[in-house]
Structure 1
Amino acid sequence: MRVSVIGGSTVDTPTYERAQRLGQLLAERGHTVVCGGLTGVMEAVCRGAREADGETIGILPGEHRDAANEYVTTPIATGLGDARNALVVLNGDAAIAIDGNMGTLSEIALALNAGLPVAGLNTHDIEGVEAVDSPEAAVEYVGSARR
């Protein structure tokens, strides 16, 4: 299964560590991580997935694949700016939001509109998002709530 992980591009150390753990757990269960491919939560989740020999897809806002963080195994340049948010969520079978601001909020809305199960870890409190308290709970939720 592909899991879209969405979240802040600038995060504190505890959030980075949670996202990294999430990436490890997803990879250990054979899931591919899909994200925006840049910094913060995106880098951390890719780093964790790569540490567990997992695959990561980074859907980038710009025109250059080399803008991806070093843990992305498949960078996809779009040249779409923030409009690439739709591609990030639509290329997953479920979504997990960690932290985040307005970009994350837009991705949550896109995921919910697409009918994807969405787990939220310290993120926006929105109807339809399953609030979880750990990376383990997030992985468990999306694994059991497949569409």
Structure 2
Amino acid sequence: MRVSIIGGGTVTEEKIDVAAETGRSLARRGHTVVCGGLGGVMEAACRGAKEADGRTVGILPTDRRADANEYVDVAVATGLGHARNALVPMNGDAVIAIGGSGGTLSEIGFSFVYDRPVAGLGTHDVPGVEACETPEEAVEYVEREV
């Protein structure tokens, strides 16, 4: 299964650790991590997935694949800026949101448009987002819901 991990590009060390563990947990279970391909939560999730021999996809807002973080296996350059936020949840079977602000909130909204289950780890408290305490709990939730 592909799981989109969404979250802020600039985040606390705590969120970095949560994102890396989420990526590792997904990879250990054989899932592919899809993200926005840049820094912060995105980079940490990809790093965690690679540490567990997982596969990663980065859907970039820029028109240059080279802008992807070093842990992205497949970089998709879109040149769409924030409009690429629609593509990140669309390309996952489920979504895990970690922290974030307005961009993450827009991706959560698109997750609902595409009927993707959303697990949240310290993210926006909105109806439809399943609040989880740990990365493992978030992964188990999306596995059950898909």
TM-score higher than 0.5 here? yes
Which residue number in structure 2 is paired with residue 127 of structure 1? 127
CA distance, structure 2, for counterparts of residue 116 and residue 76 of structure 1: 21
Which residue number in structure 1 is paired with residue 85 of structure 2? 85
Which residue number in structure 2 is paired with residue 18 of structure 1? 18
User: What letter corresponds to residue 64 of structure 1 in structure 2?
Assistant: R
Q: Where do 1:1-147 residues align within 5 Å?
A: 1-146=1-146
Q: For structure 1, which runs of at least 5 residues remain unmatched after alignment? A: none
User: What letter corresponds to residue 109 of structure 1 in structure 2?
Assistant: G
CA distance, structure 2, for counterparts of residue 116 and residue 100 of structure 1: 18
User: What letter corresponds to residue 135 of structure 1 in structure 2?
Assistant: P
Query: Which consecutive aligned stretches of 4+ in structure 1 deviate over 4 angstroms post-superposition?
Result: none
User: What letter corresponds to residue 97 of structure 1 in structure 2?
Assistant: A
CA apart distance, 1:113? 1.7
CA distance, structure 2, for counterparts of residue 50 and residue 82 of structure 1: 26
User: What letter corresponds to residue 134 of structure 2 in structure 1?
Assistant: S
Aligned length: 146
CA distance, structure 2, for counterparts of residue 53 and residue 110 of structure 1: 29
CA RMSD of aligned residues (A): 0.4
Report SS of the residue matched to 2:127. Answer: coil
Report SS of the residue matched to 1:34. Answer: strand
State percent identity of aligned pairs: 62
User: What letter corresponds to residue 16 of structure 2 in structure 1?
Assistant: Y
Report SS of the residue matched to 2:30. Answer: coil
